Amino acid sequence: MATTSFTAPKLSSPTFQTLCRNLPLSLPIPKALSSFSFHLSPFLSRFHLHHHPRRLFAVRAESENGGEPLRHYDFDLFTIGAGSGGVRASRFAANFGASVAVCELPFSTISSETTGGVGGTCVLRGCVPKKLMVYASKYSHEFDESNGFGWKYDTEPKHDWSTLMANKNAELQRLTGIYKNILNKAGVTLIEGRGKIVDPHTVDVDGKLYTARHILISVGGRPFILDIPGSEYAIDSDAALDLPSKPEKIAIVGGGYIALEFAGIFNGLTTEVHVFIRQKKVLRGFDEEIRDFVGEQMALRGIQFHTEESPQAIVKSADGSLSLKTNKGSIEGFSHIMFATGRRPNTKNLGLESVGVKINKNGAIEVDEYSRTTVPSIWAVGDVTDRINLTPVALMEGAALAKTLFQNEPTKPDYR
C-alpha cells in the first residue's frame, strides 16, 4: 500500500484565487489560512466574508505535484452505514468542516438485505433492546425474593409479552429519531437506501450516484447461523429480540456472552431454557473462576446446560415443535431454537471486490493502522473490520478517522 501523506495542502496563488471564486459570500477564512490574512484584507473588506469551513477541502483535490486538476465531488465524505462508528465519524467530520452524507437502510427491528435503521446494531438490535429485556426479566426473581421481606401476593404476577415488545419498539423508534436529529444538526445529509460502491469515489444508492473524496464503510456485522439441516427453523439474536410471543421452551446454541445473556433473559421471563455448548464450560477465553461461577449460578436458576454437544440438525414435528439433534442424541419439544454462534462482517453486495478493496477469509475488510483499505480513498471502521467488535471501539475508530481526514491530524485507533 502506498504511503499516505496527511500534510496540509499548499495553497498557490492561482489555486487560492480559484477557491475564492467558488466560495459563497458567507464564507469565513479557515484557521489554516490565518497566516494569509494580511494579503486578503482588501478582499475581505470588499465582500465582508464570514467563515464557513465546509468548502475548504475542495483544495485537497489538487495533487501534491500540481499535475492533477481540481475535481468536484458531491461530498468530502460519504458514509455507508449509520451505526455507532458511521454516525460518530460523520458527525465529527461535519463538525470539522467537511460536507458529509450517510446512507442507511429503512428502519426495522430485524436486519436484512433491505432493512436496517439509523443507530445500528447497538441501538436497534443489541445493547439497548437487550438491556430493556434484562430489566423485564429481573422482576420475576425479585418477586420471589420479596416474600422473605414480608411481601404477599393474592395472585401470582403475570407477564404480558406484547406489552414488553410494544414498549421496547417504541423506545427504539424514539432513539433512531434522536440519531437522525444528531446527524441533521451536524449538517450531515441522510440518504435512505442501500449503498453500493461503483468506483473509488462513487456510491450508488438505489440507482442514484453520489461522488465523494472519501468513502467510509461502517456497515457492521450480522448474526451467523450454522449451516446444518433444518437451520431455516432457527432464530438469531435479531429475531430473539422481537418475537411475536414468548418462548415456552428454548434451546440456545452457543456458550459466549450473547448466548448467556439471552439464557438469563428467557429464564427470568419463566421460559424453560437449555444451553448447548461445544466446550466443557461457558465463556471460553474468560477468567476460569468467572467461567465456573457464572455456570454454577445460572444452573442454580434452573438453566440446563448441555456440555460438549455440537448441533447436527433441527427437525420440525407435525405439531410445530422443534427437536435439536446433537452428537449426543436429540431433545424434543422446543418452541424455539436460537443460534448465538457469532457474528460476521456485513460485506456482501457492497461492490468491494470490484473496486479492489481486500477482504479476508472471514469477510472482514482489511485496513491499515489508520483504518484505510487497500483502496486509498476508501476507509472502514467498526465491526465490518473485525478488529475489536464493541460499540465504544467503533465510536473511537470513527472519531480517529475524522481527525485523520479533516483535521490534518493522523490518528491511529487506540485500543489500550
Query: What is the rounded average pLDDT of the residues 232-254?
Result: 98
Q: What is the pLDDT of residue 1?
A: 45
Q: Which amino acid appears at position 240 of this protein?
A: A
Cα gap 121→238, rounded to integer Å: 9
Q: Is it the case that residue 172 has pLDDT exceeding 70?
A: yes
Cα gap 213→358, rounded to integer Å: 20
* Residue 3 banded pLDDT, cuts 50, 70, 90: very low
pTM for the structure as a whole: 0.83
Nearest CA among 195, 226, 222 for reference residue 121:
222
Q: Is it the case that residue 173 has pLDDT exceeding 60?
A: yes
Q: Is it the case that residue 64 has pLDDT exceeding 90?
A: no
The residues that bridge with 79 in the sheet, in sequence order, are 102, 216
Q: What is the pLDDT of residue 190?
A: 98
226-340 under CATH 3.50.50.60, yes or no = yes
Cα gap 235→13, rounded to integer Å: 62
Q: What is the pLDDT of residue 12?
A: 39
* Residue 30 banded pLDDT, cuts 50, 70, 90: very low
State whether the Cα torsion 381-386-389-393 is positive or negative: negative
Query: What is the rounded average pLDDT of the residues 64-74?
Result: 66
| Residues of each domain in the chain carrying CATH 3.50.50.60 | 75-150+158-223+344-407, 226-340
* Residue 71 banded pLDDT, cuts 50, 70, 90: confident
CATH architecture of 75-150+158-223+344-407: 3-Layer(bba) Sandwich (3.50)
Q: Which amino acid appears at position 300 of this protein?
A: L
Give the mean pLDDT of the chain: 88
Q: What is the pLDDT of residue 70?
A: 72
With contact defined as beta carbons under 8 Å apart, do 186 and 88 qualify?
no
Q: What is the dihedral of CA 389, 392, 394, 395, to 10 degrees?
A: 180
* Residue 146 banded pLDDT, cuts 50, 70, 90: very high
- pLDDT per residue as tens digits for the range 365-397: 999 999 999 999 999 999 999 999 999 999 999
- pLDDT per residue as tens digits for the range 316-329: 999 999 999 999 99
- The string of DSSP letters for 182-221 reads HHHHTTPEEEES-EEEEETTEEEETTEEEEEEEEEE---E
Which strands make up the sheet holding 272-276, listed edge to edge?
A: 304-306, 272-276, 249-253, 336-339
Strands 221-223, 343-345: pairing kind: antiparallel
Q: Is it the case that residue 42 has pLDDT exceeding 60?
A: no
